[in-house]
Homo-oligomer: A and B are copies of this chain.
Amino acid sequence: MSLSQTATARVAAVIGLGSMGMGMALSLKKAGFDVLGADVSADAVSRFVAAGGRGIANLAEEIGEADTVISVVVNATQTETVLFGPEGIADSLRPGSVFVSSATMDPAIARKLAARLEEKGVHYLDAPISGGAARAASGELTVMASGTPAAFAAARPALDAMAAKVYELGDSAGFGAAFKMINQLLAGVHIAAACEAITFAAKQGLDLAKVYEVITASAGNSWMFENRIPHVLSGDYTPLSAIEIFVKDLGIIQDMARSERYPVPLSAAALQMYLAASGAGMGRDDDSSLARLYAQLSGATLPEKAN
């Protein structure tokens, strides 16, 4: 990067340097941003600094440098802590800057957080992400975003650096979160259905590779069946996305549905299976571990990992 570019570089901050946040921070750097990174883990910050980023020592003192602050934490509670907790940054954000919130959460909470920040003259973009760690690293995420035109305008350069596709879903916070929750409802149910089906096939002694071939070419296919069942076929439950993610996300669906007086029997049945998998000790394993749960509950035999 030339000196003149450095002098005019936009400053972005990424809060939460997990597998998604780290990739997003590095994508921003690659696009020419001056990037600050913060995480509760000093290790994660060290790795980011080693990759050429700037670590933040004191969030409240330094966050005011950033034009764009991207929060890549796990849930609504952490987002609220980042903004309004004892060491929250809400009062340190520069007026006119934009806070981009990517955690999956109840749309009602996204609306409340946005209102509280907007009172302080800070824009809020409700911007849940999808695509996984590989796409975060390559700057090709999908973002389901909603917010005021001013929030979109302020966030645009960072969005362009991080995402291959930005859906603009409404002119206020909440719509992004709501679309993401609809996706998570389907994704969570489809993983559970895929595991119910493949293990039922195993219980009947069917050739599981053949089942995968036939189903992925048939009307019973889903994005999740196609993506997750290979983990079951290879017996490899290394977490790419953990059981606990859907304990959380289908939990949000239950809360939303209960509050809106909307029955969700499929999501409710799926949640019970994620809870059982977590309770049985598989919470941090890959979400395809639901297949192992079905096998435990039925005596079915699934493929084991080759050594």
Interface residues of A (CB under 8 A from B): 107, 130, 142, 144, 165, 167, 169, 175, 178-179, 182-187, 189-190, 192-194, 196-201, 203-204, 206-207, 210-211, 213-215, 217-225, 227, 257, 260-270, 272-273, 294, 297-300
Contact = CB atoms under 8 A, between A and B. Distances in A.
Q: How many copies does the complex hold?
A: 2
A185 B196 contact: yes
Given A167-B214, A214-B167, A182 B201 contact: yes
Nearest to A107: B204
Contacts of A217: 142, 165
Contacts of A175: 206
27 contacts: A142-B217, A165-B217, A167-B214, A169-B214, A179-B201, A182-B198, A182-B206, A183-B215, A186-B215, A186-B222, A187-B220, A189-B189, A189-B193, A189-B196, A189-B266, A190-B190, A190-B222, A196-B264, A199-B262, A204-B260, A219-B223, A220-B223, A220-B224, A222-B222, A265-B272, A266-B266, A266-B270
Q: By DSSP majority rule, is chain A's interface helix, strand, loop, or mixed?
A: helix
Given A266-B189, A300-B262, A197 B182 contact: yes
A197 B185 contact: yes
A175 B287 CA distance: 28
Contacts of A220: 182-187, 190, 223-224
A88 B199 CA distance: 37
A169 B210 CA distance: 8
A297 B270 CA distance: 20
A297 B184 contact: no
A204 B300 CA distance: 41
Contacts of A225: 186, 222
Contacts of A221: 186, 222-223
Contact of A200 (B182, B268, B299): B182
Q: Which of A165, A221, A273 has the most CB of B within 10 A?
A: A221
A49 to B, nearest CB: 32
A85 B206 CA distance: 31
Nearest to A261: B298
